[in-house]
Each structure stands twice: as structure tokens, then as C-alpha cells.
Amino acid sequence: MSPITSYRQLLRLAGAGYVAIAFLGRLPLAMSQLGTLLLVSTATGRYGLGGLTAGALAVANAVGSPVAGAIADRIGQRPVVLVQSVVAGVALSSLVAAVESGASSLVLVSVAICAGLSIPQVGPLARARWRPITRETGERQRRLVDTAFSYEGAADEASFMLGPALVGAVAVVVDPGGALLVAAALLVVFGSWFALHPTARLAHTHRARTDGAPRPFVSAEFVVLAVAQLLIGIVFGATQTGTTVLATADGQPGLAGLVHALLAVGSVLAGLAVAGLPERFGYERRILVFAGALLVLSAPLLLVGSLGGLVPVVLALGFAVAPYMISVFVLAEKIVPQTRVGAALTILAGATGVGYAVGSAVAGRIADVVGGYRPAFAVTVAAAVLAVVLATTFRRRLAAALQRGAATPSSSDGSGSAWTITSEDTARVSTT
């Protein structure tokens, strides 16, 4: 089955409307951090407070998302995401109101934490829906799920390219507060729509209940995958910091965001193409190969001397990012119990956010102490080196975990919980 055929079948199964809703539902997360930074910094004139508030939102989301994912695994995505979407929309609107009323720093940070805790991680939760959506496709399911994860990886990258761009556009046309209000509106509308979509029910309520407790999923192999995502987050954060330092040194700080967005351009294209990789190219091997690509493609950052020279390097680096992340997420989905996929994938997304914060902080500190953009980019390269070491060290262990996961029927979580999805359910989804 060709990638194009797979993508077409996924659209037929889930419906183009669902794909659009799930994409728009993840934009607020991509908008919130930069929107908060711009709003607070512009209104108060204190960049330190802006960074603290935006960082508090990001860290709170990284901490809260796995908790929400675990609850969604138990009671279903619908009530969890619906409550999150409404609460997060109110919290972001409250943050705008707090800033405009001149509230204290403590109040601003507290409201930002509430927003971060409640913003749903739509990307990981959407990934958790694809296996039940494709349940009745027989032997084609494996290829379709892999293709779906390729799309989701590209969609995440596209959202983190479009989200900040949308923030910038609204901030220019209206004001920074308007950008967060747009994010709040998207949350209330499309986050709630994503929660209420029939695929949410398909992903949970068609699983037969048992009295047995769900099988634990935090294995040594899963921890390795979480560290892998932490490292790619460091790559993001350090690269953005280095780009900002270089753009400022070149006297064009406003171009930093545009240049960094090129990382997502290459990543989106590569992510969509991952669906065409042969099945014999195992996921543990893919992680190693794409970690090596991260190292090879990030090394030229240390040689860049101008903003113009940085453009092709960042664009090329993006081609290794999405394939690496997609491989990590797919492998995680295959080795954890199906009843814990939501929690597992939100943990990986949270690890990426923590890595971003770490990469930004470390690269920024080194750039201040040592001076210049190259020390910041050195953090990117160091993270890529660690990714190669991690993938090399644990390759066999990850391969063994994948084999164990393949030996366990995907219709069970090991505790006797079976998925029972009917053709009527699939038809209801595809026509919605």
C-alpha cells in the first residue's frame, strides 16, 4: 500500500472534518507560550517576568498533561478534554484581563500555571485514537497506524510553525492580548469539538471492562523513549536560543522566529514522507539512524557565521526532527498497554516540553557567560550526540520490547480488557 493510498484511507475512515478539528484543536498550545511571553513583556516592560510567566505555563503543561492523559485512559477522553478546553479558555482570557488590570507578578504566574495545567495535549490524544479507528482494516492496520503517526508528527510540527506565526500576525493587527484571546476561542470551539467527536467514544467506551488493574507501562524501555523526547526538546530550545542570539547580533532580532520556523518546514515534509519507509526498517533502527542524522545535520550550526548562512542549516536540520520523533512515538504506542496509550503519549509530549525549557535555559546561560551564538548551538549538537549514544546503547533492548509488544495482541492490555469495535461505530465516525 502506497503512502498516498494510506492517507486517503485514513481520511475515509476518520473523515476530513475530524482531521481538521484535531489540527485546529492543537493550535492553542502552540500559541500560548509565545503569546504569553509577548503579552506580559510588552505590557510590563519586563522581559524577565514575561519569560517567567511563559515558562511557568510551559512547565505546568508538561506536568499536567500526563495526569490528564492517565485520567482520560480511565474515564475516556470526552469529559477530560471538554473540561480542559473550557477551563483553559477561561484561564487564558483571565491572563489577558490580569495583565491589562496591572495584576501582580504572583497573580500572573499563578494564572499562567492554571492555563498550562488545563490546556489539552490534542496531538498525543489524537494519536491514541487511530488504532481503534483503523480496527477493522485487518492486515492493513499496521501500515495505516504507522501512516497516521507520520501524519500526526507532521501536524504537530505544522502547528508549532503556524501557531507562533498566528500569534505574531494577531499581535501586529490587534495586540498581544488579542493573540491569547484567539487561542482561548480556538480552545473553547475546536478543543471542545475534538472532545465531543465520535472518535473519542470509539477510543474508549468500546473496550470491555474488567475488574483487573491496568498493567503498568513505565518500563525501562519507556523511560529511554522519554529521555529521547527530552533530548529532542533540548534541540528545539537550544536552536531557538542560538538563532535569537545570532539574529540579535546581526541587528535583525525580528527575524529570529521566522528563521527558526524553517526547522518546522523541513520537519513537516520529512514527517509526511516517513509513511513511505518499509516495514522491515525497524523503529529501534530508525531512532538510531535519525539520531545520527540529527548529529550530522546539527554540526554545521557550529560553523555558521551569519543569519543568511543559518537558513539552509536550520532547514536541513528539520528533515531529521520529525522522523526521529515519529519513530519514538510509534515505538511507545507499540510497547505500552493499549489502555494506557493516552498517558504514555502525553508523558512523551511533556518530556519534549521540559527538554525545550532546559535547552533554552542552558543555551541562554552559556551564551551569556561565554558569549555569542556558537556556545548556544553547541548545546544543540551535544543533545544530538547524547541522542546517538542513547539509541546505540538501548537499541537491542528497544527491539526486544517491540517484539514483546508484537507478541501481545493489540486487542488486549494484558489484563483481559478487549476492544470491541463494530462496523456501526466506524461508519458513525467516518460520516461525522
- Over residues 385-416, the pLDDT tens digits come to 999 999 999 999 998 888 876 555 444 443 33
Taking the domain 217-412, which CATH number applies? 1.20.1250.20
Domain ranges of the chain: 1-206, 217-412
Whether the domain at 1-206 and the domain at 217-412 fall into the same CATH topology: yes
How many angstroms from the chain centroid is the CA of residue 416?
Answer: 31
**What percentage of the chain exceeds 90 in pLDDT?**
35
pLDDT at 406: 57
- Residues 426 and 356: beta-carbon distance below 8 Å: no
Name the region of 313 (left: φ>0; alpha: ψ -120 to 50; beta: rest).
Answer: alpha
Closest CA to 100 of 202, 207, 15, 176: 176
Q: How many residues does the chain have?
A: 432
pLDDT at 254: 64
Neighbours of 276 (CB within 10 A): 12
Highest mean pLDDT among 142-151, 244-253, 405-414: 142-151
For 1-206, the fitting CATH number among 3.40.50.720, 3.40.50.970, 1.10.3720.10, 1.20.1250.20 is 1.20.1250.20
Distance between CA atoms of residues 38 and 45, nearest Å: 10
pLDDT of residue 212 exceeding 50, the answer is no
Q: Quick one: pLDDT band at residue 190, thresholds 50, 70, 90?
A: very high
For residue 395, the number of C-alpha atoms closer than 13 Å in the C-beta half-sphere is 15
Distance between CA atoms of residues 181 and 95, nearest Å: 9
pTM of the model: 0.78
Instruction: Please state, rounded to an integer, the average pLDDT across all residues of the chain.
Output: 84
What pLDDT, in 10s, does the model give residues 83-124?
Answer: 999 999 999 999 999 999 999 999 999 999 999 999 999 988
Residues 6+ apart with CB under 8 A from 262: 311, 314, 315, 318
Integer CA distances (angstroms), 19 to 189, 212, 342, in order: 15, 34, 18
C-alpha cell, 231: 533530548
The owner of cell 473519542 is 200
